[in-house]
Amino acid sequence: MIPASFDYHSPKTLAEAIGLLSKYRDDAKVLSGGQSLLPLLKLRLGSAGHLVDIGRIPGLEDIQEKDGFLKIGGRVRESEIEHSDLVRRRYPILADTAAVIADPLVRNLATIGGNLAHGDPANDHPATMLALGATVVATGPKGERTIPIEKFFTGLFETALERDEILTEIRIPVPPPKSGGAYVKLERKVGDFATAGAAAQVTLGSAGEVVRAGIGLTNAALTPVKATDAEKFLQGKKPDDATIAEAAKRAAAATDPSPDRRGTVEYKTEMARVLTTRALKRAVTRAQGA
Amino acid sequence: MARHQIRVTVNGTLHESDVESRLLLVHYLREMLRLTGTHIGCDTTHCGACTVLLDGRPVKSCTVLAVQADGRDVMTVEGLEKDGKLDPIQEGFFQEHGLQCGYCTPGMMMTGHALLKENASPSEAEIRQAISGNLCRCTGYVNIVKAVQHAATAARAR
């Protein structure tokens, strides 16, 4: 399969890339790892007159803790997140997530910025970022602005990014002591999109009670789902089995999945409940050990 | 129609080519450079038959543009053999009957070769994880795993 004809630009700086996006607007697409965009173009489900490849722009590939945040450059590859010592040690939920995206070959090219900016509710990072309370940094002609992740996903394949903005960084607040998180995904086989997926991040207080809980769900509606009712329910409670079971029930109630070859609405809703239970239990165990 | 001049090092040889923006790396390798060892399988980023190394990392060449490889290093299955001597991964597939129909083999070998560069003594689980993006429709995974293990032993002995 061959994509429809387009022009390709390989800017060397962010300013040059933004200039191209400003010039071509709706006729341009940002090419990062290309692992979602190129299949779309090949299948001719999408088209663009101009691809702006950000692959040669320096400074978008760092993973570092700074100023109270874990800062991940927009072009950091999934395989780097999966194998990063810092991520595995301090943010196991992120390592969980990166490790189940597509397959190892795709992860060698796919980027975290692309995973979020694509706006696909079937992608895995959105749920995790919702659970972590991340912030997206968008860079455009007027410079940088920050977008809270819960305001980022505006529709199916739609995000809060303007046509001339590039997702340049993701900021995750450094979790306080006694925090832990986990991501669990049900997939038919390696490389498949999630039948359902759940991300949970919890912080425990001195008496073992939940101080903060973040829960995000993958492929559970037309946009990534933040299970706010379940999050609020957990607050101040000891995360015992009964409490987690009730929270998972509330998370499942926040979903609105579409039936497809991966399952019926009923099945997917039930899987969202089961996976939220598992993610919460693992998150709590990790928080207790932290 | 936009065209670009690219310089790509393939199996150690620098190639300068004039390519269309939309030309895929796998088509560049097969049709322009006539390196037909890299196979096109599903053409939809699933099967891994088209796996090549891009700057040392295994990727699906049906999902990379040739222009993205400009200034970079590509290795295909044709680059494994050196001076008439098989790479340990080739030796492994030969000795352990790691192929049946052979369609997935070039991709499997490139992934296996890259794995052994990173991890000289992978466990069975690590091998299975590494090749999880490469499909064998003959389902010959048992011998493919043995082939990679054989290659690991042979490479360590070299």
Do B62 and B7 lie in a common domain?
A: yes
Do B72 and B101 lie in a common domain?
A: no
Whether A46 has its CB under 8 Å from any CB of chain B: the answer is no
The predicted complex's ipTM stands at: 0.97
Do B133 and B73 lie in a common domain?
A: no
Question: Which residue reads 């950091």 in tokens?
Answer: A76
Residues of B with Cβ-Cβ distance to A7 under 8 angstroms: 2, 21
Cβ within 8 Å, pair A8-B65: yes
Whether A7 has its CB under 8 Å from any CB of chain B: the answer is yes
Distance CA B50, CA B110 (A): 9
Do B62 and B98 lie in a common domain?
A: no
Distance CA A224, CA A160 (A): 14
Do B99 and B140 lie in a common domain?
A: yes
Range of the domain at B32: 3-79
CATH code of the domain covering residue B117: 1.10.150.120
Distance CA B64, CA A108 (A): 12
Cβ within 8 Å, pair B67-A8: yes
Distance from CA of A81 to the nearest CA of B (A): 15
**Nearest chain B residue to A48, by CA:** B22
Average pLDDT over residues A168-178: 97
Residues of A with Cβ-Cβ distance to B21 under 8 angstroms: 5-8, 51
Where a domain ends, among B28, B53, B79?
Answer: B79
Helices B141-157 and B88-95: angle between axes, nearest 10 degrees: 130
Do B54 and B27 lie in a common domain?
A: yes
pLDDT at A290: 80
Q: Smallest Cβ distance to B129: which of A35, A53, A104?
A: A104
Cβ within 8 Å, pair B70-A10: yes
Whether A35 has its CB under 8 Å from any CB of chain B: the answer is yes
pLDDT digits (tens, 9 = 90+) for A189-242: 999 999 999 999 999 999 999 999 999 999 999 999 999 999 999 999 999 999
- Mutation target to probe the B interface, by most B beta carbons within 10 A, among A77, A105, A106, A188 is A105
Do B47 and B99 lie in a common domain?
A: no
Contact B50, B105 (CB under 8 A): no
What's the structural domain count of chain B?
A: 2
Whether A8 has its CB under 8 Å from any CB of chain B: the answer is yes
Distance from CA of A30 to the nearest CA of B (A): 13
List of chain B residues with pLDDT < 70? 1
CATH code of the domain covering residue B67: 3.10.20.30
**pLDDT above 70 as % of chain A:** 100
Do B69 and B99 lie in a common domain?
A: no
Do B113 and B149 lie in a common domain?
A: yes
Helix (H, G, I), strand (E, B) or coil at B153: helix
pLDDT at A29: 97
Distance CA A162, CA A171 (A): 19
Which amino acid is located at A144 in the chain? E
**Nearest chain B residue to A40, by CA:** B44
**Nearest chain A residue to B65, by CA:** A38
How many contacts (CB atoms, under 8 Å) link A and B?
89
When computed from its CA atoms, the radius of gyration of chain B, rounded to whole angstroms, is: 15
Do B51 and B24 lie in a common domain?
A: yes
Secondary structure of chain A as H, E, C letters: CCCCCCEEECCCCHHHHHHHHHHHHHHEEEECCCCCHHHHHHCCCCCCCEEEECCCCCCCCCEEEECCEEEEECCCEHHHHHHCHHHHHHCHHHHHHHHCCCCHHHHCCCEHHHHHHCCCCCCCHHHHHHHHCCEEEEEECCEEEEEEHHHCEEECCEECCCCCCEEEEEEEECCCCCEEEEEEEECCCCCCCCCEEEEEEEEECCCCCEEEEEEEEECCCCCCEECHHHHHHHCCCCCCHHHHHHHHHHHHHCCCCCCECCECHHHHHHHHHHHHHHHHHHHHHHHHHC
Where a domain ends, among B79, B108, B127?
Answer: B79
Positions of CATH 3.30.43.10 in chain A: 7-53
Contact A55, A75 (CB under 8 A): yes
Cβ neighbours of residue B153 under 8 Å, at least 6 residues apart? Answer: none
pLDDT digits (tens, 9 = 90+) for A14-58: 999 999 999 999 999 999 999 999 999 999 999 999 999 999 999
Average pLDDT over residues A175-187: 97
pLDDT digits (tens, 9 = 90+) for A108-161: 999 999 999 999 999 999 999 999 999 999 999 999 999 999 999 999 999 999
Where a domain ends, among B60, B79, B98?
Answer: B79
- Is the predicted pLDDT of residue A61 greater than 70, yes or no? yes
Cβ neighbours of residue B31 under 8 Å, at least 6 residues apart? Answer: none
Whether A156 has its CB under 8 Å from any CB of chain B: the answer is no
Do B113 and B135 lie in a common domain?
A: yes
Cβ within 8 Å, pair A2-B22: yes
| CATH fold label, A179-289 | Enolase-like; domain 1 (3.30.390)
CA distances from B85 to B11, B88, B89 (A): 15, 9, 11
Ramachandran area for residue B23 (φ above 0: left; ψ -120 to 50: alpha; else beta): beta
CA distances from B75 to A40, B30, B50, B110 (A): 26, 13, 12, 8
CATH no. for A7-53? 3.30.43.10
Q: Kindly report the number of other CB atoms within 10 A of residue A93's CB atom.
A: 29
CATH architecture, domain A63-173: 2-Layer Sandwich (3.30)
Cα maximum dimension of chain B:
52
Cα maximum dimension of chain A:
62
- Mutation target to probe the B interface, by most B beta carbons within 10 A, among A1, A5, A7, A8 is A8
- Mutation target to probe the A interface, by most A beta carbons within 10 A, among B3, B22, B135 is B22
